[in-house]
Structure 1
Amino acid sequence: MPTTIDTAFLDTMPPNVAVQFFDRVAATPDAEAFRFPRGEAWESVTWKQAGDKVEALAAGLIALGVEPEQRVGIASGTRYEWILADLAVMCAAGATTTVYPTTNAEDTVYILGDSESRVVFAEDDEQVAKLAAHRSELPHVTKVITFDGTTDGDWIISLEDLAALGAEKLAEQPDVVRTTSQAIRPDQLATLIYTSGTTGRPKGVRLRHSSWVYEGEAIRAQGILSESDLEFRWLPMAHSFGKVLMSTQMACGFAAAIDGRVEKIVDNLGVVKPTFMGAAPRIFEKAHDRIVLMQAAEGGAKEKIFKKAFDVGLEVDRRKREGRSVPIGLKVQHGLFDKLVFSKIRDRFGGNVRFFISGAAALNRDVAEWFGVAGIKILEGYGLTETSAGSFVNHPDRNKFGTVGPVFPGSEVKLGDNDEILIKGPGVMDGYHNLPEETAKTLTSDGWLRTGDKGALDEDGHLVITGRIKELFKTSGGKYIAPPAIESKFKAICPYASQFMVLGDERNYCVALITLDADAMAAWGEENGMAGASYADIVSSDGVQKMVGDYVDELNSHLNRWETIKKWRILEQDLSVESGELTPSMKVKRNVVQENNQALIDEMYA
Structure 2
Amino acid sequence: MTLKTPLDMLYQWELTEPNAVYLKQPIQGEVKELTWKDVSEQVRKVASNLIAMNLPNGSHIALLSKNCAEWFITDLAIMMAGHISVPIYSTAGAKTIRYVLEHAKCPVIFIGKLDDTVNQVAAIENEIVKLAFPYPDIPADKQWSELLEVAPYAENPIPDLDSVMTIIYTSGSTGNPKGVVHNYRSICWAAHASLQELGVSSKDRVMSYLPLAHITERVLIEVASFYSRKRVSFIESLDTFSRDICATQPTLFISVPRLWTRFQMGVLANMPQKKLNFLLSIPIVKNVVKKKIQQKLGLSDTRLCASGSAPIPASTLEWFRTIGINISEGWGMTENSAYGTCCVPFRADKIGCIGKAYEGVDVRIASDGEIQVKGPCNMKEYYLEPDKTAEVLTEDGYLKTGDKGSIDNEGFITITGRLKEIFKTSKGKYIAPVPIESKLMANSIIEQVCVTGSHLKQPIALVVLSEDALKRPFKESEESLLASLEEVNATLETHSVLERLVILKDEWTVENDLLTPTLKIKRHTLEKKYKDLINGVFTGKIAKQ
Same fold (TM over 0.5): yes
- Select 1:271's aligned residue among 244, 247, 250: 247
Give TM-score, length-normalised by structure 1: 0.83
- 2:320 aligned counterpart, secondary structure: helix
**Aligned position for 1:217:** 192
Gaps of 5+ in 1: 1-8, 297-302, 313-332, 529-540
Instruction: Describe how 1:440-479 pairs up with structure 2 within 5 A.
Output: 440-479=390-429
**Greater percentage in helix:** 1
Partner Cα distance (2:307, 2:505) in 1: 29
**Aligned position for 1:288:** 264
Aligned amino acid, residue 164 of structure 1:
E
**Aligned position for 2:107:** 118
**Aligned position for 1:202:** 177
Aligned-pair distance for 1:387?
0.8
**Aligned position for 2:201:** 226
Partner Cα distance (1:145, 1:474) in 2: 49
**Aligned position for 1:320:** none
Aligned-pair distance for 1:373?
2.8
Partner Cα distance (2:284, 2:262) in 1: 27
For the 8 Å contact 2:205–2:231, the answer to whether it is kept is: yes
Q: After superposition, what is the alpha-carbon deviation per residue over 1:423-450, rounded to whole angstroms, capped at 9, x for unaligned? A: 1111111111111111110112332110
**Aligned position for 2:210:** 235
Residues 87 and 127 of structure 1: is their aligned pair in 2 closer, same or farther, counting only changes over 3 Å? farther
| 2:237 is the alignment partner of 1:261 | yes
Residues 424 and 550 of structure 1: is their aligned pair in 2 closer, same or farther, counting only changes over 3 Å? same
- 2:91 aligned counterpart, secondary structure: coil
Aligned-pair distance for 1:290?
2.4
Residues 304 and 598 of structure 1: is their aligned pair in 2 closer, same or farther, counting only changes over 3 Å? closer
For the 8 Å contact 1:60–1:164, the answer to whether it is kept is: no
Residues 293 and 560 of structure 1: is their aligned pair in 2 closer, same or farther, counting only changes over 3 Å? farther
Partner Cα distance (2:225, 2:171) in 1: 25
For the 8 Å contact 1:24–1:251, the answer to whether it is kept is: no
Q: After superposition, what is the alpha-carbon deviation per residue over 1:142-187, rounded to whole angstroms, capped at 9, x for unaligned? A: 44334425577xx61111212223x2x63xxx32xx1xx31x1111
**Aligned position for 1:3:** none
Corresponding pairs, count: 535
**Aligned position for 1:250:** 226
**Aligned position for 1:395:** 344
**Aligned position for 2:543:** none
Q: After superposition, what is the alpha-carbon deviation per residue over 1:5-61, rounded to whole angstroms, capped at 9, x for unaligned? A: xxxx3xx111x3322333344453332211111211222222222122212212221
Bigger drift between 142-151 and 72-81 goes to: 142-151
Aligned-pair distance for 1:257?
0.9
For the 8 Å contact 2:134–2:144, the answer to whether it is kept is: yes
Aligned-pair distance for 1:123?
1.7
Partner Cα distance (1:289, 1:145) in 2: 37
| 2:383 is the alignment partner of 1:428 | no
For the 8 Å contact 1:143–1:156, the answer to whether it is kept is: yes
| 2:518 is the alignment partner of 1:585 | yes
Q: After superposition, what is the alpha-carbon deviation per residue over 1:236-285, rounded to whole angstroms, capped at 9, x for unaligned? A: 11111110111111122210111263343333222221112111111111
- 2:165 aligned counterpart, secondary structure: strand
Q: After superposition, what is the alpha-carbon deviation per residue over 1:546-568, rounded to whole angstroms, capped at 9, x for unaligned? A: 55444433433443443332123
Partner Cα distance (1:127, 1:67) in 2: 29
| 2:48 is the alignment partner of 1:54 | no
Aligned-pair distance for 1:543?
5.5
Residues 66 and 365 of structure 1: is their aligned pair in 2 closer, same or farther, counting only changes over 3 Å? farther
Bigger-Rg structure (1/2): 1
Instruction: Describe how 1:397-412 pairs up with structure 2 within 5 A.
Output: 400-412=350-362
Aligned amino acid, residue 32 of structure 2:
E
- 1:559 aligned counterpart, secondary structure: coil
Partner Cα distance (1:281, 1:577) in 2: 15
Residues 499 and 163 of structure 1: is their aligned pair in 2 closer, same or farther, counting only changes over 3 Å? same
For the 8 Å contact 1:37–1:259, the answer to whether it is kept is: yes
| 2:291 is the alignment partner of 1:343 | yes
Q: After superposition, what is the alpha-carbon deviation per residue over 1:161-215, rounded to whole angstroms, capped at 9, x for unaligned? A: 12223x2x63xxx32xx1xx31x11111111111122211111111111122111
Instruction: Describe how 1:77-226 pairs up with structure 2 within 5 A.
Output: 77-123=66-112, 126-127=116-117, 129-132=119-122, 134-135=124-125, 139=127, 141-148=128-135, 150=137, 156-165=141-150, 167=151, 170=153, 174-175=154-155, 178=156, 181-182=157-158, 184-226=159-201
For the 8 Å contact 1:75–1:120, the answer to whether it is kept is: yes
Gaps of 5+ in 2: 540-545
Aligned-pair distance for 1:416?
1.3
- 2:87 aligned counterpart, secondary structure: strand
For the 8 Å contact 1:273–1:349, the answer to whether it is kept is: no
Partner Cα distance (1:260, 1:584) in 2: 18
Aligned amino acid, residue 521 of structure 2:
V
Aligned amino acid, residue 416 of structure 2:
T
Instruction: Describe how 1:316-335 pairs up with structure 2 within 5 A.
Output: 334=283
Residues 260 and 111 of structure 1: is their aligned pair in 2 closer, same or farther, counting only changes over 3 Å? farther
Aligned-pair distance for 1:305?
5.3
**Aligned position for 1:366:** 315
Aligned-pair distance for 1:74?
0.7
- Select 1:514's aligned residue among 463, 466, 471: 463
